[in-house]
Amino acid sequence: MADTADDLRRTPLHELHRALGGRMVAFAGYSMPVQYEGILAEHRWTRASAGLFDVSHMGQRVLSGPGQDAVADALESITPGSFRNLAPGRMRYTLLLADTGGILDDLMVTRPAGGGDGQLMLVFNAARKEIDDAYFGERLPGTFALEALDDRALLALQGPKAVDALARHCPEAAGLTFMSATEARFDDAECLVSRSGYTGEDGFEISVRAEDAVRVARTLLDEPEVKPVGLGARDSLRLEAGLPLYGHDLDETTSPVEAGLAFAIAKARRETGGFPGADRILRELAEGPARLRVGIRPAGRAPVREGADILGLGDTRIGEVTSGGFGPTVEAPVAMGYVAAPYAAPGTDVQVSGRRGPEPATVAALPFVPPRYVR
Amino acid sequence: MVLRYTKDHEWVNAEGDVATIGITAYAADQLGDVVYVELPEVGQKVAKGDATATVESVKAASDVYAPVSGEVVEVNSELGDTPQRVNEAPESAGWFMKLRLSKPAELDALMDDETYRDFTDSL
C-alpha cells in the first residue's frame, strides 16, 4: 500500500490526519487519508450524522475578466452551460469539453454572492488541475485570468446533522439552499461556504485560508455530530448517490449524453451550440447515444470492480463497469458502468464478469440511495 | 498443535492431520472492512499456492492462497452472513477453512509466531 512518499503533496490538514490515525495513501499526487476508524463506519456515520472530509487537493480557482458577462461568455465557450443567468450566490455543475465532445473534467462554478464583479469561482478535480489550467490558457484570450487559490484549504461537512454543527460557528450556512454559496465567517475566520457536496446528503463545502484550516477542522471535529471521514467512504457515498467520478466514470471519450449528464447542457445551448464537441453532443441528444451510464446491482454478495466486462445473457460483451464496490447503506454490492443503449433500461438482466466467471446482475436506476439535498 | 504463518499473511493451526486456516490480524487490518468471502467447496483438493478463497473488502478483492496442500474438510459458513468476523476475530472466529493435510511436512517451511511478528514489523 502506498504511503507518504516524499514526492507527494500535502494538504494543510496533513498533520491533523496523522494525529487522528488516518491511513494515508497516494491520491492524485497527494497524500490523503483513505480511512480513520474504517470505511463502513465512516460511511454510515456520514449518512446518520455528519462527516468531515478534507478535499483540499481539489483545484480552487478564480476565473476573472473584463466584466461578469464577459467571464460568463468565456466559460460558455468551453462548456455546455449557461452562466450569464447564474445569479449571485448560486452554483452550477458543468463540464469542460474537448472538441471531440469528450469530457475533460467536471467542475463546480460559483458566482460570488456579492455579484462577482467579473469573477467566477471554479473547483476542478485534483487529478485534472494541470490539464484544466492549460486548457483555459489555450482557449481563452489573455484578457481572462485563471488564478489558483493554492493558499486555501477546502473542507466538506456532509450528512443530515452537518447544518447543526456548522451553524454554531457559521450561522449564515443554515440560510443557504442546495447549490448556493456565500462569503461568511467561521467563528472569526474568513470563509466561502456553499451548500453542496458529493455524498447525496445535505452538507456544505467550506473554503478557508490554509492557516485557518486546522483550527476550523478541529472546531468542527469537537462538535458531537462530527467525525473525520476519508476518501474510501467518500467513494462509497458518491457511488451510492449515483455521482460519477472523473477518471473512472468519466473521461475524454465519454460524452455528457452518454454519461447521463445532459442536465448540464443548458436549454439555450441545445439550440445555439457553440461549445466544443457540439456536433456530437447535439446529435446524441437528438438520436440517443450508443451507450449509457447505468447502475448495476450484482445478484450475489460479491462486489464487482472497475474494469469488469458487462455481458448480455448470451455472453456477448455489452459494456464495462467503471466503478464498483460495496454499498454500506444499500447493504449490498453496487456498481456503475456503461452499457450499449438497448440494455440500459432499469431491470434489464445482464452478467458481470467476475473473478469467478460471469455472475448475474441487473441494470438499476441511479441513484441507489435517494438524495437528501435541502432545496 | 502447530501454529504457523505465511508471507501472504495466512495462519495455519494444525492439530493432528487437520489444519485450520485463516488470515492474520495484520492482513485483516490492511484489507479494511471485509464485505464478502468466497470459500472453496468441501471435498475440494488444493495444492500449496493455489488460490482457494477470495476475500473482498470495501476497497479491493484479494486471493487467499493455500499455505499447505490437502483436502477441504470444512469451511466457515458463518462468514456468508457475517463477513465482518474476519475483521473482528481474524485469528479465531474469522477462520476460513479446514484442510486434511496431504503433505504435513510443508508446515516446516512456514514461519513460527516470532518469525512472523519480525516479518510484519519489517514491512
- Of the pLDDT bands very low, low, confident and very high (cuts 50, 70, 90), residue A148 is very high
Q: Does B80 touch chain A (CB under 8 A)?
A: yes
- Of the pLDDT bands very low, low, confident and very high (cuts 50, 70, 90), residue A25 is very high
Identify the closest residue of chain A to B84 by CA–CA distance: A40
The fold for domain A290-375 equals: Elongation Factor Tu (Ef-tu); domain 3 (2.40.30)
Query: B2-121, which class in CATH?
Result: mainly beta
In whole angstroms, give the CA distance from residue A53 to residue A230: 6
Q: Which residues of A touch B (CB under 8 A)?
A: 1, 34-35, 38-41, 232, 236, 301-303, 305, 325-326, 328, 333, 355-356
Return all residues near B27 (Cβ < 8 A) that are at least 6 apart.
B8, B9, B10, B90
**Where are the domains positioned within chain A?**
14-55+153-240, 290-375
The fold for domain A14-55+153-240 equals: Gyrase A; domain 2 (3.30.1360)
Q: Does B78 touch chain A (CB under 8 A)?
A: no
**pLDDT for residue A2:** 44
Identify the closest residue of chain B to A40 by CA–CA distance: B33
**Where are the domains positioned within chain B?**
2-121
Which residues in chain B are closer than 8 Å to A3, comparing Cβ atoms? none
- Quote the minimal CA–CA distance from B62 to chain A in Å: 10
pLDDT digits (tens, 9 = 90+) for A42-72: 999 999 999 999 999 999 999 999 999 999 9
Average pLDDT of chain A is 96
Identify the closest residue of chain A to B29 by CA–CA distance: A38
pLDDT digits (tens, 9 = 90+) for A322-362: 999 999 999 999 999 999 999 999 999 999 998 778 999 99
pLDDT (average), residues A252-272: 97
In whole angstroms, give the CA distance from residue A124 to residue A99: 19
Which residues in chain A are closer than 8 Å to B59, comparing Cβ atoms? 34, 39, 232, 325
End-to-end CA separation in angstroms for chain A:
41
Residue A4 has pLDDT above 80, yes or no: no
| A305 to B61: CB separation less than 8 angstroms, yes or no | yes
| B59 to A301: CB separation less than 8 angstroms, yes or no | no
In whole angstroms, give the CA distance from residue A200 to residue A160: 10
